[in-house]
Amino acid sequence: MEQTTSMRTHMCGRINTNDIGSEVRVCGWVDRRREHGEHLVFIDLRDHTGVVQCVVDQNHDLRSEYVVQMIGLVRQRPEDTANPELATGEVEIEVRLVEVLATAEPPPFPLDERTEVDETIRLRHRYVDLRKARMQRNLRVRAQVNSAIRRGMETQGFVEVETPMLVASTPEGARDFVVPSRKEPGSFYALPQSPQLFKQLCMVGGVDRYYQVARCLRDEDLRADRQFEFMQLDAEASFVGQDDIFRFISFAIAEATEAVTGVRPTEFPRISWLDAMERYGSDKPDVRFGMELVELTDAFADTQARVFRAPCVKGICMPGGAATLSRKEIDSLVEACQRWGAKGLAWMKVAQRDGLAVLDAGVAKFLSAAESAAVISALGANVGDMVFLVADEHQLVRHVLGLLRLELGRPAVNEGGLHYLWVVDFPLFEGFGADGLPLAAHHPFTMPHPHDLELLGASGEALLGVRSQAYDLVLNGWELGSGSVRIHRQDIQNKVFACLGIPPDEAQRKFGFLLDALSYGAPPHAGFAFGIDRLVAILAGETNIREVIAFPKTQSGADPLTNAPSLIDKAHLRELGLRPQT
Ligand code: ASP
């Protein structure tokens, strides 16, 4: 839609040769000023659509970031001054009237895209930072994604239901943010880690298909892909199974991707959690490149080489690595693997001897001819490649080689296309906590796999074999989101609580309302949620979600703009029943 208003007839970045000869009115910020001689200056005037060159009398006091309205005639630029890089590069405005709408302090940092600016300074003056073309583009990509997923869900009959922000704790595996209650000093609300329990209650309430663009809050250490508060497309549906959920979510994701890139993704392949862990060493595999982990344990069953006598040996092959990796780089890879928990990293070049590919350098001399041959053939290695082997406990080998693979081969965020992947058949429990109790891999409302229900009575390691009906969506190695088929029967829910070591009275106290609801006629239901910040970041080609959030927190959780978190005064603390810190 044309964005004209009573103050402007055109957007700066849209003026072109079709407008030559017309009088236009434009508004925006002074981007750049250049002297022109003959008492004239060039002013680049900027709004979110771009810049337009304005020729102005030099007597006007027009400084960087002043907000200005210009009225004038569009004319062709003299040929030698045209700028083909710029959409408006062939024209300029011969200004007859200038009005300064607001003056401005000199900006705290240059607004061009080339200057690296410290992030804290950018965030402290985010309102200036947002004027940059990159931020304008990212915010608009985000809006497109939000609008496309809403449309996508609504087309499929999903109804938006809002759920409260002041709630009781929702276990998603993170720490809660809490809000003290003034009316009941000593009591606290939790901010929702997700709307999980409410969306399940919506299903018991007959909503049938729920969605929400929901804000979730988790008190976790922040990273490039994690903020305290983040947005999810949260969804739940009744009388469905896993395949139905995949269809609903893939549709919404396809709508969003197409809205931004113009290309509709058609492939949403699946991989089992076990396969992902064995082949990629990760439950969020980046399948934009190969270098898969290859099982070599059997090849070393009778080895004489001590380093390879271990419960598990796996390897990866880096094509062409023999020539591209320097000794210094290899040493730092070995160090990285030790930091990740491995005792060491065995590396060998694939060289040619008598016309045959052989392993050379590194630990190759400790290998028998049969072992070398087996490694080369299992890894499909060719002359000039580099192979890396790790021997240790099974889980550790997967973990370390998974990270090494990413280190060696991971493309930049905007390279290699968009590869969506459903990871299915997650285990129900991901290990044991310090107290010896199993830890829920997803959340405690996840339905175990129907074939593994019997195993719920088991103890110890056998419990880790229980599969769940939980699934993740992965995009280019980023976990976009998770979901599961839910437990809709009180008896199974109680069994899972018992496995997790949550005694009946505690279950009643924490989730009594959910257990009650399950006893009043709960339909079978399942759902999913994916992170909108992450999806937008990848679609916008950004590696850090802070670049696609208008007002994010820094890595340490502070907001340099508003100075949150901040102290509150003593009287306020007292009112909340809290003691000031001494
Ligand atoms: N509540 C889950 C989460 O936030 C998603 C789901 O199971 O639907 O990760």
Domains annotated on the chain, with CATH? 12-102 (2.40.50.140), 133-266+529-575 (3.30.930.10), 290-409 (3.30.1360.30), 419-523 (3.30.930.10)
State in Å: Cα 171 to ligand 1 middle.
Answer: 10
Q: Do residues 24 and 74 make contact, with C-beta atoms less than 8 angstroms apart?
A: yes
What pLDDT score does 173 carry? Answer: 84
Q: For residue range 331-376, what is the model confidence (pLDDT) as tens digits?
A: 999 999 999 999 999 999 999 998 889 998 778 889 999 999 999 9
Q: So what's the pLDDT on residue 431?
A: 87
Q: Radius of gyration (Cα) for the chain, nearest Å?
A: 30
Indicate if ligand 1 lies below 6 Å from the C-beta of 472.
no
Per DSSP bridges, beta strands 188-190 and 438-440 are: unpaired
For 22, the token pair is 């017309």
Residue to mutate (ligand 1; options 217, 442, 447; most atoms within 8 A of CB): 442
The number of the ligand 1 atom at minimal distance from the alpha carbon of 445 is 7
Q: How many helices (H) and strands (E) does the chain have?
A: 15, 22
Q: Whose CA is nearest to atom 6 of ligand 1?
A: 483
Which ranges in 312-352 belong to alpha helices (H)?
321-324, 327-339
Pick the atom of ligand 1 nearest to 216's CA: 4
Cα-to-centroid distance, 386 and ligand 1 (Å): 41
pLDDT in the model for residue 391: 97
**Euclidean distance between CA atoms 316 and 325, whole angstroms:** 15
Closest residue by Cα to atom 9, ligand 1, is: 482
| Residue 8 dihedral angles phi and psi, to the nearest 5° | -145, 150
Helix (H, G, I), strand (E, B) or coil at 348: strand
- Cβ(528) – ligand 1 distance below 6 Å: yes
Ligand 1 and 527: CB distance under 6 A:
yes
Any atom of ligand 1 within 6 Å of the Cβ of 483: yes
Q: What is the pLDDT of residue 435?
A: 87
- The pLDDT score that the predictor gives to residue 233 is 98
Query: In the chain, which residues have pLDDT < 70?
Result: 1-2, 582
User: d(Cα 174, Cα 282) in Å, to the nearest integer?
Assistant: 21
Residue nearest (by alpha carbon) to ligand 1 atom 7: 483
Residues 6+ apart with CB under 8 A from 288: 410, 411, 415, 416, 417, 419, 476, 477
- Residue 1's pLDDT is 57
User: From the CB of 469, is ligand 1 less than 6 Å away?
Assistant: no
Q: Are 218 and 445 in contact (CB under 8 A)?
A: no
Q: What was the pLDDT predicted at 474? A: 98
Tell me, using a 6 A CB cutoff, whether residue 471 lines ligand 1.
no
pTM, full prediction: 0.94
CB 484 within 8 Å of CB 500:
no
Name the closest-CA residue to atom 4, ligand 1: 194
- pLDDT at site 227: 96
| Cα 528 to middle of ligand 1, angstroms | 6
Query: Burial, 181: exposed, middle or buried (Cβ in 10 Å; 0-12, 13-18, 19+)?
Result: middle
Atom of ligand 1 nearest to the CA of 194: 4
The best mutation among 153, 169, 196, 525 to test binding of ligand 1, ranked by most ligand atoms within 8 Å of the C-beta, falls on 196
Q: Name the residue of 169, 170, 194, 201 whose CB sits within 8 Å of the most ligand 1 atoms, as the mutation to test its pocket.
A: 194
What is the reported pLDDT for 478? 96
